[in-house]
Structure 1
Amino acid sequence: MSKLVLDVLKATFPEAVLETHAQFGDDTAVVDPAMWRPIARFLKDDTRTSMSMFIDLTAVDYVGLALPRFEVVLHLRSLERGHRVRLKARVGDEDGTGAEIDSLVSVWKGANWFEREAYDLMGIVFRGHPDLRRILMYPEFVGHPLRKDYPVDRIQPLVPFRKEAIDKLPPFGPDEGKPWGRQEHDFHRAEDTPLHGAHVPGPTERGTN
């Protein structure tokens, strides 16, 4: 089924699809990074592909092995048709500059944090992202720690503890506003909240051990 997607892509974007391979369900298309967003939009909207489900986006560093240096990798699935596909685009110079590609947040909102992670850890810049900032490292962190040329012995600059900034964070969870480790969760017994249509035995029906 997924090979059909590759055939449709090659027929629709003959100049932008640089290579494809399809083996054991691993159906992949390498595309021109300049056509990254238009091809992604096509895969989602065209009824022959219907790639409505964004699964994953990541990046791979091939420093010293290939140019362009980075590969941005996108995994998609069609819930309607049951097929899936992997899309790749290669960006970046040997020194890590020029690693830019269009954001897909306008196509799949779920791409938001995945692109932020690839930016934070690999330094891929996603043009048009609504909030492109670090998501795992702190703002003053120097470099991108998943790049293969990142120095393992690098000492990061010391930063002050910003309690005020933490206190301003919006509350999260059922016990919002409480310190970590002191949440009080509301556990219910099964007999208090029975499942719809399910018989929950009462105390007199249960055996004793």
Structure 2
Amino acid sequence: MPTSLHYLSPFQLNAYSLALRAVGDIIQDYDSDKMFPALGFGAKVPPDGHVSHEFPLNGDASNPACHGIAGVLEAYQRSLRHVQLYGPTNFAPVVNHVARSAATVLDGSQYFVLLIITDGVISDMAQTKEAIVNAAKLPMSIIIVGVGQAEFDAMVELDGDDIRISSRGKVAERDIVQFVPFRDYMTGGPGAGLSMAGLAREVLAEIPDQLLSYMKDCRAPQKSSRGSSAA
């Protein structure tokens, strides 16, 4: 329906597409092969209509990678014609999905960046906090881009700039989340222009320090550790 942020208009990109293209164009040059696994969450998916929180946008569970941001955008728009958006809205499955990949490469040779585009609704805050705390020791960062006019209080909390995120009494080893409200960089409202320079600065503001903090810890003498890795 036209009021949905996912509505596909024949005349202009929707809010998710705008954010994906703008932010994706900023970060894609930091990836050598330009192949991006792209997942959706919060939808009933074919063929049986079960609710999934980590389904491949391209429909290929064995290889969810899309070529370039243009490929991700095409897969997203095509998936909207085949899935039914459906709650709840859970973040933890996609965070854990990327964490599992990051956990296989701990030597500093690769670094993973998860981009989440959201309207701010989250149904599994406690589980997402736990997933982020577990992921903080892995070579990964999370960029959350908020679209629409919500308050985004939960996303600010996940960002953890003021108070380091914690779960079950365990504090995250690093700050790995950066939240960016996309509307702050729209010039003149929806359908108008973007402050790309400002958006780029905000999107990339914390990634270098997050990467360096992991590399520093990665090369430090390892103490014996307790606890389990991210699921």
Give the structure with the larger helix fraction. Answer: 2
Structure with the larger RCO, 1 or 2 (CA within 8 Å, 6+ apart)? 2
Larger radius of gyration: 1
Decide: shared fold, TM above 0.5: no
TM (normalized to structure 2)? 0.26
TM (normalized to structure 1)? 0.27
